[in-house]
Chain A
Amino acid sequence: MSDSDIVQDFLVESYENLDRLDRELVGLEKSPHDRDALASVFRTIHTIKGTCGFLGFNKLEKVAHVGENLLTRLRDGQLTLNPELTTALLGMVDAVRQMLKEIQSTGQDGEIDYPELRETLTRLQQVGASAAKQAGPEKLAAEVPSPTVGKEKAKSKDTVLSPATGLAKPAATEAPKAVKLEPAQPSCPAAEAVPGRSAEPVMAKQEDTLGVQPTPESRPREAVAETIRVGVNVLDKLMTLVGELVLARNQLLQISNTVEDTGLQAVSQRMNLIATELQGEVMKTRMQPIGNIWSQFPRTVRDVALGCGKEVGIEMEGKETELDKTIIEAIKDPLTHLVRNSVDHGIELPDDRVKAGKDRAGRLILRAFHEGGQVNIEITDDGAGLNGDRIRKKALERGVINAEQAARMTEHEIFNLIFLPGFSTAEKVTNVSGRGVGMDVVKTNVEKIGGTVDVQSTRGRGTTVRVKIPLTLAIIPALVVTCGGDRYAIPQVSLLELVRLEADEVGKGIELVHGAPVYRLRGRLLPLVYLSKELKLAVDEHAAAESDGAVNIVVLQADERQFGLVVDQINDTEEIVVKPLRKQLKMVKTFAGSSIMGDGKVALILDVLGLAQRASVIAETRDRALTEKAVEAAAREEKQTFLLFAGPGDSRMAIPLSTLARLEEFPVAQVEMSGSQWVTQYRGQILPLVRLNVVLEERRNKLRALQAPPAPDSGPIQVLVLNHDGRSFGLVVERILDIVEDRADVRSSATRAAVLYSVVIGERVTEMLDIPAILRSADVSASLSGVATRSAEVAN
């Protein structure tokens, strides 16, 4: 192993150790008497000092040395950690980090040897020494031997490190020395803690030489899962290869579907399973707990809080929540900014807090959790909350919104204005925040990786910023469409639904608003964007002829606005491996990347946001989007989506949309009778049709209603296809009204069977159907098999 390799290992190791130091020092401030933590801090600095002496980084060694001296006193209980000491020690950590960077780039430990820092550290140590003198002569006696203990330990500690850097031999020869030294140590007054501590380096050494634990673990007593260090580039390469494998598998599956060969099909099935599993596992190797970036926040919070004279405690929930490496990297800066912001602006000064009847120390809570294939990260403070009036005033001043908009906007919309560029309501500009850059950058960065940011706040109670981000970006599900003869992939996250208009519906379905095509989607106008026009593609005559004039609309969501993308053909959904576009094509904002399809050809991935911007669906200023977004976001809370329909006698009824599989319309002629049960043939199955009018009919009329065949001259029947307990059935209703989102919290108990409760949806009383009860009442299973339905119904 060459010198540079040793230095490289030293750097990697030291960076990790320094990160841990940050955490431990901040932790120590809270519990200054934690001897284990102190010992660990001491060891870390000691290791760095020892190694850089060995490698000839003298300036670094000097700085580490004074830090170590101070730590020796702390460890031996001659000094107690106080904020001043912590700040000095953290300053030393920063200095060491700076020098390591210097070493990394130049190979030397830099010109600066931090005389002031060293002076401070020495002074603090002297303060401690004089304090110790006053404390009593027996303590003083401890002063002389303790540095020697430090030195002896320095030697043994050096050897702990060297096996990791590949110098196993000296470690082995040195080992007995360390053990031999032990008998000398009891003479030192700090002896009571020594045996345990001196045992540790030896233990660590054994592990090292055995090659079990490649890094000198500072706390060997903690159970450590067996891990090995793997270079990130190896993981990236693995990921690429798995991506290739997934592609090859897709190709294989396509081929095997066209070939009648059971052997081939069995193999490709197996291959499919293995590839899927492998993909999952490799993805896992790139997953990192979010705690990795959170771990630096205690330090950040401490520094910022100290800087503005505040007291802030940080709490973390869901540290173990895992995210893809690339995403972790991408959200690090935005999160740091949000945390700093919360401390700087959110949490009040201690005196103000007391006045407001809160604890002196503010609370900052970080939460992370999975939800619906996404990761939610919340940053909550119990500070003063956002001042809606001030934001409104500022927005008016800056001309971000006009007076009329300002009057119309809800509190929540106003809050979200803080994400606009150049918007800061901080009264004074601090070195941390208040310069008007930041929140918009946070938003932009989060959106870049397909995430969203939202802020909620209660005056006087605090603020919560919620960041939602996808789990991974490397392999995503996407819808593949064809346009102008080429395929394009649309990330599934932006996809809402697909609408197909047959040729005869196109005329009345697509309307024009002064030339701009729109489609009425459940009563709302959906702006239509023609992909071929936006991409300036040549019209594919062949495809146009093939589609018989039918129009395929892909309903997409971009920045909280919806639009319909008209494409030639909708192919299928596929898991695609995202490959970024090269520099030459980066400026084309309509594409997010490229991918290789099953047949080996390249397809472009559409950037829905970029496309929407190109098509001017989203104005460049976000005002309109923002307004609508805020309204929706406020309303979306605890909202459910319901399908509204008219039941018998035009009564308003609803079911949760989640229970619905499809909406269908059958001509009466397709309805057949099976016993007294209406059935229809649907997708190669017999679909029992439950008539709501029968279910809800008064008992005496039930039989008559039940036996009635469909009136032959009536129009097509509207059927809700539902899945319940793994079986499908159709619910015949009068008319489908709408799909609405509503909180549905005004409820009253049911007035008749098969109804769960009555509820106010869209300001009208609506009955919520009880689907299991309907099925029981209709007894679908019995009637299908032709068993005494009638008697069952009568008995009801």
Chain B
Amino acid sequence: MDQTSQFCTFYLDKLLFGVELKGVQEVIRSLDMTQVPLAPAVVSGLINLRGQIVTAVDLRKRLELEPRPAGTLAMNVVVRSEDGAVSLLVDEIGDVVEVEETTFEPPPETLRGTVRTMILGVHKLNDRLMHVLDIEKACQMIDVPETVGVGR
């Protein structure tokens, strides 16, 4: 049997994304969020996850997609990054899928920009493509332009 791995999938602006299941801590519904003024725009705020303070990253903004329509609540996919738990805000949760390595392909050369650094590639599922997200890159804020100058 070929090497298989499990992915937790979710939707962003009708695109299907996946992160490796072993990197996912939990999936929860929308929680009360505290905004962080002056923070990078992709940081939606801070949430209290049973006593642990977790940064919520708006994946739509991170992946330079259209902003989420007003009035829709995001779901939290809490992933474990090098720097502790981070919550990724997504539109909708999909299934857990099991894929074989053979269905993987790196992103096409025509995919450019910062998005390319975050997308490892795609798995060709039967009916559609699943974008494989690099959790570490998605959680990194270094290359993100800030909304305002950092006060010094």
The 8 Å CB contact of A603, one of B34, B86, B139, B140, is B34
In the bound complex, do residue A600 and residue B37 qualify as a contact, i.e. CB atoms below 8 Å apart?
A: no
Asked if A590 lies at the interface with its beta carbon under 8 angstroms from chain B, I say yes
Residues 591-638 of A contacting B (Cβ, < 8 Å): 591, 594-596, 600-604, 610-611, 613-615, 620
The 8 Å CB contact of A247, one of B37, B51, B148, is B51
Asked if A582 lies at the interface with its beta carbon under 8 angstroms from chain B, I say yes
In the bound complex, do residue B152 and residue A535 qualify as a contact, i.e. CB atoms below 8 Å apart?
A: no
In the bound complex, do residue B35 and residue A486 qualify as a contact, i.e. CB atoms below 8 Å apart?
A: yes
In the bound complex, do residue B39 and residue A585 qualify as a contact, i.e. CB atoms below 8 Å apart?
A: yes
In the bound complex, do residue B152 and residue A614 qualify as a contact, i.e. CB atoms below 8 Å apart?
A: yes
B2 to chain A, nearest CB (A): 35
Asked if A466 lies at the interface with its beta carbon under 8 angstroms from chain B, I say no
**0/1 string, A38-66, CB within 8 A of B gives 1:** 00000000000000000000000000000
**0/1 string, A573-590, CB within 8 A of B gives 1:** 000000101111101111
Asked if B43 lies at the interface with its beta carbon under 8 angstroms from chain A, I say yes
Asked if B107 lies at the interface with its beta carbon under 8 angstroms from chain A, I say no
Assuming the contacts A596-B53, A602-B47, A602-B48, asked whether A588 and B152 have C-beta atoms less than 8 A apart, the reply is: no
Asked if B83 lies at the interface with its beta carbon under 8 angstroms from chain A, I say yes
Asked if A277 lies at the interface with its beta carbon under 8 angstroms from chain B, I say no
Task: Pick the most buried of B36, B39, B148: most chain A CB atoms within 10 A of its CB.
Answer: B36
Asked if B97 lies at the interface with its beta carbon under 8 angstroms from chain A, I say no
Q: Which residue on B lies nearest to A582, using beta carbons?
A: B55
Ordered nearest first, which 5 A-B pairs have the shortest CB separation? A614-B151, A535-B37, A602-B34, A602-B46, A244-B51
The 8 Å CB contact of A602, one of B38, B53, B141, is B53
Asked if B71 lies at the interface with its beta carbon under 8 angstroms from chain A, I say no
A576 to chain B, nearest CB (A): 12
Residues 43-77 of B contacting A (Cβ, < 8 Å): 43, 45-48, 51, 53-55, 57
**0/1 string, A536-568, CB within 8 A of B gives 1:** 110000000000000000000000000000000
Dominant secondary structure of chain A at its interface with chain B: mixed
Total chain B interface residues with beta-carbon distance under 8 A: 30
Task: Point out the residues of chain A lying under 8 angstroms from B36, CB to CB.
Answer: 585, 588, 591, 604
In the bound complex, do residue B152 and residue A601 qualify as a contact, i.e. CB atoms below 8 Å apart?
A: no
The 8 Å CB contact of B151, one of A244, A537, A583, A610, is A610
In the bound complex, do residue B141 and residue A620 qualify as a contact, i.e. CB atoms below 8 Å apart?
A: no
Taking A584-B40, A611-B151 as known contacts, 16 extra A-B pairs with beta carbons closer than 8 A to each other, sorted by chain A number, are A486-B34, A535-B37, A536-B37, A582-B86, A583-B83, A584-B57, A584-B83, A585-B141, A587-B146, A588-B39, A589-B150, A590-B151, A594-B53, A602-B45, A602-B47, A615-B151
A555 to chain B, nearest CB (A): 20
> How long is the Cα–Cα vector from A446 to B45 in the complex, in angstroms?
30
> How long is the Cα–Cα vector from A534 to B51 in the complex, in angstroms?
29
Asked if B84 lies at the interface with its beta carbon under 8 angstroms from chain A, I say yes
The 8 Å CB contact of B83, one of A486, A534, A582, A610, is A582
Assuming the contacts A584-B139, A613-B151, asked whether A579 and B37 have C-beta atoms less than 8 A apart, the reply is: no
> How long is the Cα–Cα vector from A591 to B51 in the complex, in angstroms?
19
Residues of B within 8 A of A (CB): 32-40, 43, 45-48, 51, 53-55, 57, 83-84, 86, 139-141, 146, 148, 150-152
In the bound complex, do residue A535 and residue B47 qualify as a contact, i.e. CB atoms below 8 Å apart?
A: no
> How long is the Cα–Cα vector from A62 to B128 in the complex, in angstroms?
66
In the bound complex, do residue B141 and residue A587 qualify as a contact, i.e. CB atoms below 8 Å apart?
A: yes
> How long is the Cα–Cα vector from A486 to B33 in the complex, in angstroms?
10
Assuming the contacts A486-B34, A601-B34, asked whether A584 and B43 have C-beta atoms less than 8 A apart, the reply is: yes
> How long is the Cα–Cα vector from A591 to B139 in the complex, in angstroms?
20
Assuming the contacts A537-B37, A582-B55, A587-B150, asked whether A596 and B48 have C-beta atoms less than 8 A apart, the reply is: yes
> How long is the Cα–Cα vector from A626 to B84 in the complex, in angstroms?
39
Assuming the contacts A584-B86, A602-B34, asked whether A579 and B53 have C-beta atoms less than 8 A apart, the reply is: yes
Total chain A interface residues with beta-carbon distance under 8 A: 35
Assuming the contacts A535-B38, A596-B48, asked whether A585 and B152 have C-beta atoms less than 8 A apart, the reply is: no
> How long is the Cα–Cα vector from A610 to B152 in the complex, in angstroms?
7
> How long is the Cα–Cα vector from A240 to B47 in the complex, in angstroms?
17
A539 to chain B, nearest CB (A): 13
Task: Point out the residues of chain B lying under 8 angstroms from A535, CB to CB.
Answer: 37-38
Residues 240-277 of A contacting B (Cβ, < 8 Å): 240, 243-244, 247
Q: Which residue on B lies nearest to A248, using beta carbons?
A: B51
In the bound complex, do residue A601 and residue B139 qualify as a contact, i.e. CB atoms below 8 Å apart?
A: no
In the bound complex, do residue B53 and residue A585 qualify as a contact, i.e. CB atoms below 8 Å apart?
A: no
B43 to chain A, nearest CB (A): 6
> How long is the Cα–Cα vector from A708 to B37 in the complex, in angstroms?
60
A-B contact pairs, 13 of them (CB 8 A): A240-B51, A534-B151, A536-B148, A537-B37, A581-B55, A582-B55, A584-B55, A584-B139, A585-B55, A588-B150, A590-B37, A594-B53, A614-B152
> How long is the Cα–Cα vector from A767 to B100 in the complex, in angstroms?
90
Task: Point out the residues of chain A lying under 8 angstroms from B151, CB to CB.
Answer: 534, 589-590, 610-611, 613-615
Task: Point out the residues of chain B lying under 8 angstroms from A244, CB to CB.
Answer: 51
> How long is the Cα–Cα vector from A703 to B116 in the complex, in angstroms?
92
Task: Point out the residues of chain B lying under 8 angstroms from A537, CB to CB.
Answer: 37
Task: Pick the most buried of A244, A585, A615: most chain B CB atoms within 10 A of its CB.
Answer: A585
Task: Point out the residues of chain A lying under 8 angstroms from B148, CB to CB.
Answer: 536
Task: Point out the residues of chain B lying under 8 angstroms from A587, CB to CB.
Answer: 141, 146, 150
> How long is the Cα–Cα vector from A486 to B46 in the complex, in angstroms?
12
Task: Point out the residues of chain A lying under 8 angstroms from B48, CB to CB.
Answer: 596, 600-602
**0/1 string, A153-169, CB within 8 A of B gives 1:** 00000000000000000
Task: Point out the residues of chain A lying under 8 angstroms from B55, CB to CB.
Answer: 581-582, 584-585
Task: Point out the residues of chain B lying under 8 angstroms from A581, CB to CB.
Answer: 55
In the bound complex, do residue A536 and residue B35 qualify as a contact, i.e. CB atoms below 8 Å apart?
A: no
Task: Point out the residues of chain B lying under 8 angstroms from A610, CB to CB.
Answer: 151
B37 to chain A, nearest CB (A): 4
> How long is the Cα–Cα vector from A484 to B34 in the complex, in angstroms?
12
